[in-house]
Amino acid sequence: MTTATSMYALNHNQIAQLIATVGRDNCVLVQGETGTGKTSIQKILEVKFPNHILVYFDGTTKDMGDLMVPMFHTIGDDGVVRYATNEELGLHLDKPVIVMIDEFGKCLPTVKNALTRLILERQMGAKKLHEESLLWATTNLQAEGLGDMLPAHVRNRITTVEMRKPDATEWIEWGINNDIDPMILAWTKDTPQLFHSFKDCKPEENPYINHPQAQRASFVSPRSLEKASNILKQRDQIDTTTLTASLIGTIGERGALDLMAYVALGDQLPSLDSIKNDPMGAKVPTAAGAVCMVVYRSLATIERSWIKQWMTYLNRLNKEAQGLFVNGARAKGYSKQDVVTQSKEFQDWCLANNFLFSADK
């Protein structure tokens, strides 16, 4: 990628809006580092276009014969061959669809060539996409060395943009709304380099992430962090050795060993029941990481039935922790924003701390 392209790298929401705007006419190819959630853009588009049908086409599993199959038809005294298209492309639906061609750069050359008419004219054989349909594709950065290649005649038919990694703050906001384990959220807050790009560092400068010049079987990415969260949420079912081994195989050695240090803080956490039943007597952690876990856990699980108790408990934490909770509640797209901001206790906190809060979303 050129320096200019990297300078103008977009986030998930910006790319989703671009596809929503021009996707009826242009195929937007999203290039980005492995594991950064390129395919999750489809979920954003699903919300924007609830009446469209989502269509997923996996370019890595297709050969030329998987795109269209000949069918013999008789017209009068003559016979003709028509072609039935692969249902994964959605051409047969005759309804608005959102077609995502995943791993387009890894498609076989013959498959890339066969898809060029769909990309440019929204048609394969005799079938056309519905005029309201959107079309976009994903691929990895060529610099990653994963085999993603695009010939000039194909690239000239598409609009290519680079998707940047989310930073720690953006990913934490997403994680709060998507049931990510509080230990993962606290660790990422303290370790922002987990979200750095390999383009900005040498392999030895960041031992956590994937780097083309390093041989790391497992590494930290937004995708692998979500997988690590799945393991941590069930850690009471496995012993410490098994937990550590599974994390090493998910986010790499350095990441797993650092994360296990946060697991050791778990004994400091008060239970949710203790906060609900006795907010003035519930345990208050001393370690900063444990305090973050308590705050993130509450942001993810808070309900109207115990917001009063939580705000009482929150006032026992330090000002930094209080600010962490309030800023989390203010984050755009926070799923429980109304629960928090409409409570009298939260509004009283804002007044007492000279904090101006706007509920605009």
Query: What are the residue boundaries of the structural domains of the chain, listed by start?
Result: 3-162, 168-352
For 223, counting Cβ atoms within 10 Å of its Cβ (0-12 exposed, 13-18 middle, 19+ buried), the class is middle
CA distances from 59 to 112, 221, 290 (A): 9, 22, 43
Residue count of the chain: 361
224, 206, 222: which is closest to 214 by C-alpha?
A: 206
Quick count: other Cβ atoms within 10 Å of Cβ 264?
12
Is the separation of the CB atoms in 64 and 108 below 8 Å?
yes
Model confidence at 361: pLDDT above 50: no
Q: What is the mean pLDDT of the chain?
A: 90
Angle between helices 307-314 and 319-330 (to 10 degrees): 140
Residue 282 to residue 242: CA distance in whole angstroms: 31
Task: Calculate what percentage of the chain has a pLDDT beyond 70.
Answer: 96
For 284, counting Cβ atoms within 10 Å of its Cβ (0-12 exposed, 13-18 middle, 19+ buried), the class is middle
- What local confidence, expressed as pLDDT, does residue 1 receive? 47
Q: What is the mean pLDDT of residues 187-193?
A: 91
Model confidence at 171: pLDDT above 50: yes
- What local confidence, expressed as pLDDT, does residue 341 receive? 92
What is 3-162's CATH number? 3.40.50.300
HSE (CB half, 13 Å, CA atoms) of 332?
4
- What local confidence, expressed as pLDDT, does residue 128 receive? 92
Q: % helix / strand / coil in the chain, to the nearest 5?
A: 50, 15, 35
Is the separation of the CB atoms in 269 and 285 below 8 Å?
yes
Terminal Cα distance for the chain, rounded? 35
Residue 54 to residue 38: CA distance in whole angstroms: 15
Q: What is the mean pLDDT of residues 29-58?
A: 93
Q: Which of 115-124, 144-153, 187-196 has the lowest mean pLDDT?
A: 144-153
- What local confidence, expressed as pLDDT, does residue 3 receive? 66
Model confidence at 5: pLDDT above 90: no
The model's pTM: 0.80
For residue 261, what is the enclosing H or E element? helix 253-263
